[in-house]
A and B are shown apart, each in its own frame.
Chain A
Amino acid sequence: MLEPGMDAMIDPANERVATEREALFELLDVEKVYEVTKSEGFLKRSRRKLAALDGVRLRIDQGASMALVGESGSGKSTLLRVLLGLTEPTQGLALYRGRSVNQMRDAGPDFARDVAMVYQDARGSLNPRMTVGQLIAEPLRHFGICPEAEIPQRTNALLARVGLAADVAARYPAAMSGGQIRRVAIARALASNPTVLVADEAVSGLDVSTQAQLLNLLRKLQKDMGLTLIFITHDLGVASYLCEEIAIMYLGRIVETGPTQAVLDNPAHPYSKALRHSAPEFFEPISDPLPGEIPSPLDLPPGCRFSGRCTVAQSDCLANDPALTRQGQDRAVACYHPFAMSNISPEGIKERHVTF
């Protein structure tokens, strides 16, 4: 449902399956710049621009499951706020079903009903003075999902769907465990019958068995309810378990997107590759594939933002900033030398950086 004239703006990298599935979210060269004041000595301050997002292109189809992966400072949270219409992009367009996300949000409760959110800090996202039952009833009542008389029944059905007993409805969030509280947050998000479920690190910080239970729950819900899932995580294992597609972010830009399995089997971007090999694997020798740390977004290196830590950077990488461009059938990568060194084993990468 694109507005006329909008087609021309769509990046070729994201055009691929336009015919098969309807695009729900589209980000067209989204930029988000914050002004920060930096103190430079006593009483001396300078205003500087901080690009939290810089040229982000992304397309999320109806029914897709998309993992947004990145480390701290990668801009995941800002991207999330743009997608939810909580902040307006400084440049570029953020579209939901072909209409601007911010306009949609201002237009009424429809967008809020369609797009539900599960916060990383599930406990903090629930009012501590309301019982679980009241918390779930709130969206039911607000969006007029069902008549008042059916609310208790509906609440119990939602609790059952996330694997909680009906008697938890009378409890307060403080009396529930970390795993249970996330289930409550998911039940509350599902109350409005959303099309899209946005989950921000919904399984991080939990014990492995609880995490596995939740992952299975999310997988089942996505399949049963036909949800579009946008899952923000730093864990590639979780991303690969839950999501068909992946977008890897580094310093405010998506550096690689594509089908999760293809990207993780053979990462095109050197950063994706590094991320892939830094995840701990049983009995593999420990590797530290990346030298240095993420630079501050206030002083980005010239050229490619990853060039400072990149093991295959060449002269053109230092001169120009690569944009996200199409790479093969359904992948896109922001790198001048994709797949470089793909013939060298992770061991080889490791050897080059034992000293730094």
Chain B
Amino acid sequence: MTAPLLDVRGLTLHRGTKRILDDVSLTIGRGETVALVGESGAGKSTIAVALMGLIDKGDAVIEGEARFDGIDNLVGLTEKQWGKLRGKRLSMVFQDAGSALNPCYTVGSQLASVLRRNLGLSRKTAQTRAVELLENVGINDAAARMSAYPHQLSGGMQQRVMVAIALACNPDLLFADEPTSALDVTIQAQIIRLILDQTKTRGASCIFVLHDLALASQSCDRIVVLYAGQVMEAGRCDVVLRDPKHPYTRLLKSCVVEIGTQNLDPPEGSVPPYEAMPAGCRFSTRCPRAQARCADERPPLVETQGRALACWNPEWTR
């Protein structure tokens, strides 16, 4: 088995007394798509931001290691070292393309400047390459759209431009942070497919940050379920989501409203604040199967039956 593209071990992020990420481990192979799912405060976006070296330093302390294709410690790199990686080997598609694009420059010049800066292309070749990239992401009449400002494009088109910029330097790993949550449903599928197609043709890996389990099952090979900064369950989508063993994954799945859903039975309650977080499994305050030790002892993330599971009392019976 070849080494995975990205191997994160024990990633922990403290901010003051708050432990935002608590011992997160995950791997992603070459050409693989992985979904990070969980509710707000689960730390899924924070993981992406930390692995892009974009954590606002302030009082943040990052521990743990992240190996990325020969680079030993991704989270410990200096800003100068990041300059050679970010946008070139790792890049990101943000949730809100409208605010991620600079409103003062045309999309063409933003795309061309990325190409010139990162790949050292000449002005002319950068222009030609930019038009090609825009055509690649399904923008009709790309040459004319080069001179459009972001606000002149619809949300879906802006997101396509974002994808084009993120993929301009053929990165090995793309983070897509809720790339469609600001878009209409009929546009959502277009963009997800676009990202999947584009990463596949480049052989790149992709980490999706999602909150929609059904969308994760449709678009990703593997899934990592997070709760309050801890990994609860991880594994192949079809294994984990068809038959979730962790009580939290079960809760998440039971709350999905699909067409024809007749009854929902959500437990009351919500994520506790960091001050009230238990030392052990953070889900234990809401868990229907919590035992005495759950709040004090953190269950280890163990590989069992084709998945990784962090639970003292998983639901093996269906």
Contact = CB atoms under 8 A, between A and B. Distances in A.
Partners in one complex: yes
Interface string A281-324: 11111111110011000000000000000000000000000000
A71 B186 contact: yes
Given A209-B251, A286-B196, A293-B156, A241 B261 contact: yes
Contacts of A235: 185, 257
Interface residues on A, range: 35 or more
Nearest to A283: B217
A92 to B, nearest CB: 27
Given A283-B242, A293-B157, A356-B138, A210 B270 contact: yes
Given A207-B211, A276-B259, A287 B252 contact: no
A209 B39 contact: yes
B61 interface: no
Interface residues on B, range: 35 or more
Interface string B101-142: 000000000000000000000000000000000000010000
A177 B268 CA distance: 14
Contact of A72 (B184, B218, B252, B260): B184
A60 interface: no
Nearest to B154: A293
Interface string A35-73: 000000000000000000000000000000000000110
Nearest to A264: B259
A241 B251 contact: no
Interface stretch (A78-86, A95-103, A120-128, A211-219): A211-219
Contacts of B185: 71, 234-235, 275, 278-279
B180 to A, nearest CB: 10
Contact of A209 (B241, B255, B258, B259): B255
Interface in A207-247: 207-213, 215-216, 234-238, 240-241
B257 A211 contact: yes
B187 interface: yes
Contacts of B218: 280-286
Contacts, number: 121
B40 interface: yes
B54 interface: no
A139 interface: no
Contacts of A163: 268
B300 to A, nearest CB: 25
B313 interface: no
A275 B186 CA distance: 6
22 contacts: A71-B185, A207-B270, A208-B256, A208-B257, A209-B252, A210-B39, A211-B255, A212-B254, A212-B257, A216-B264, A237-B259, A240-B259, A240-B260, A241-B257, A274-B186, A278-B189, A280-B218, A282-B213, A283-B238, A285-B218, A293-B154, A293-B157
Given A211-B257, A278-B188, A289-B189, 10 more contacts: A207-B270, A208-B256, A215-B264, A235-B185, A237-B258, A240-B261, A264-B260, A275-B186, A282-B256, A289-B186
Interface of A: 71-72, 163, 177-179, 207-213, 215-216, 234-238, 240-241, 261, 264, 274-276, 278-290, 293-294, 356
* 5 cross-chain pairs, A with B, having the tightest CB-CB distances, nearest first: A212-B266, A207-B39, A71-B184, A288-B189, A237-B257
Interface of B: 39-40, 138, 154-157, 184-190, 192-193, 196, 211-215, 217-219, 238, 241-242, 251-252, 254-261, 264, 266-268, 270
